[in-house]
Structure 1
Amino acid sequence: MYEKKPFTIDDQVQQLKDRGLFISESDNIQHYLSHISYYRLAGYWWPMQEDKIAHKFKSNAKFSDVLALYNFDRQLRILLFDVIEKLEISLRTKLIYHLSHEFDPWWFQNFNIFQNASDLVKTLAVLEGEIDRSKDIFIKEHKKKHKDDGRFPPSWKSLEQTSFGALSKLYGNLKNDVVSKDIIAKEFGTVNHTYLPSWLQSIAQIRNYCAHHSRLWNRNLPGSPKLLSNPPHSWIQNVPKPHEFQFLYIHLCCMKYLLNVVQPENSFTLQLRMLLDKYPNVDPNALGLKEKWEEEALWK
Structure 2
Amino acid sequence: MTYNRPWKSFPEQLELLKSRGMIVTDETAALDYLERVGYYRLSAYWYPFRKFEITQGNETGKLSTKALNEFHADTQFVDAVHLYLFDKKLRLYLADALERIEVSLRVDLSYLLGSRDPFAHVKNIKEHFHPTFSNRPFYKGSQQSNFDAWLTKYRGLVSRSKEDFVRHYHDHHGKELPVWVAVELLDFGAISQLFSMLNVKDQKTIALRYGVPNWQVFKSWLYSLSYLRNLVAHHSRLWNRNITSKPMLPQQGEISWCDYFIGTADYSFKPFLLLSITRMLVKSICPRTQWHKRVLEHLKEFPEQHSNKKLNLNGMGITEEWEEWW
* TM-score, normalisation: structure 2: 0.84
**1 CA distance for matches of 2:273 and 2:279?**
10
What is the CA-CA distance between 1:226 and the residue it aligns to?
Answer: 1.9
Contact 2:82 2:303 in 1 (8 A): no
Contact 1:27 1:63 in 2 (8 A): no
Report what 2:101 is aligned to: 87
What is the CA-CA distance between 1:231 and the residue it aligns to?
Answer: 6.3
What is the CA-CA distance between 1:78 and the residue it aligns to?
Answer: 0.3
Contact 2:243 2:271 in 1 (8 A): yes
Contact 2:109 2:195 in 1 (8 A): yes
The answer to whether residue 205 in structure 2 is matched with residue 183 in structure 1 is yes
Contact 2:113 2:179 in 1 (8 A): no
The answer to whether residue 230 in structure 2 is matched with residue 242 in structure 1 is no
Report what 1:264 is aligned to: 287
Unaligned 5+ runs, structure 2: 53-65, 136-144, 305-310
What is the CA-CA distance between 1:54 and the residue it aligns to?
Answer: 3.0
Deviations 1:191-237 (A, max 9, x none): 24221110001111111100000010211011222222266666355
Indicate the SS of the match to 1:86: helix
Report what 1:111 is aligned to: 124
1:202 to 207, 224, 229: 224
Deviations 1:262-286 (A, max 9, x none): 1111113321122134333261111
* TM-score, normalisation: structure 1: 0.90
Decide whether aligned partners of structure 1 residues 144 and 86 sit closer, same or farther in structure 2, where only a CA change above 3 A counts: same
Contact 1:171 1:181 in 2 (8 A): yes
**2 CA distance for matches of 1:9 and 1:66?**
17
Report what 1:146 is aligned to: 173
Report what 1:62 is aligned to: 76
**1 CA distance for matches of 2:94 and 2:40?**
23
Unaligned 5+ runs, structure 1: none
* Deviates most, 38-47 or 167-176: 167-176
CA RMSD of aligned residues (A): 1.9
- Specify the code of the residue in structure 2 equivalent to 1:290: T
**1 CA distance for matches of 2:48 and 2:123?**
49
Report what 1:283 is aligned to: 312
Indicate the SS of the match to 1:11: helix
Report what 1:32 is aligned to: 33
In the comparison of the two structures, how many residue pairs are matched? 291
Indicate the SS of the match to 1:29: helix
